[in-house]
Amino acid sequence: MAVIDTDRDLVALINTFTVEPRDQERLVELLHEATEDVMRHFPGFVSANVHVGLDGTKVCNYAQWESEEHFTKAIEHPDAQPHFTQCRAIATSVSALYRLRFTEGLED
């Protein structure tokens, strides 16, 4: 897990995939490969996590980037496209990009 400095702005991409149970493991492998082989080597990448649904039909991918510009350059890069194509072949997804601000802590 990446350590994130407080008072830092980031963006987070959350992809929620719907997949057939027989393809859930393959989708997780594809997302892991995309992170390890491609995304983590791009400037501005912070971290990524994958969560699977117990019923076998959902996968959630969460990735953090230093800026929207870093994120956009990474997903538009030709090295990333084969991973996206393979994911789309076995799953549908809903994606959202969020701006985050990390602070010291919350007041009670």
pLDDT at 76 over 70: yes
pLDDT at residue 100, rounded to an integer: 81
pLDDT at residue 18, rounded to an integer: 97
pLDDT at 3 over 60: no
Poorest-confidence range of 12-16, 55-59, 102-106?
A: 102-106
Give 92-98's long-range contacts (Cβ < 8 A, gap of 24+): 92/17, 92/18, 93/15, 93/16, 93/17, 93/18, 94/15, 94/16, 95/13, 95/14, 95/15, 95/16, 96/13, 96/14, 97/11, 97/12, 97/13, 97/68, 97/71, 98/11, 98/12, 98/13, 98/14
Q: What is the pLDDT of residues 46-58, one digit of tens each?
A: 989 999 999 999 9
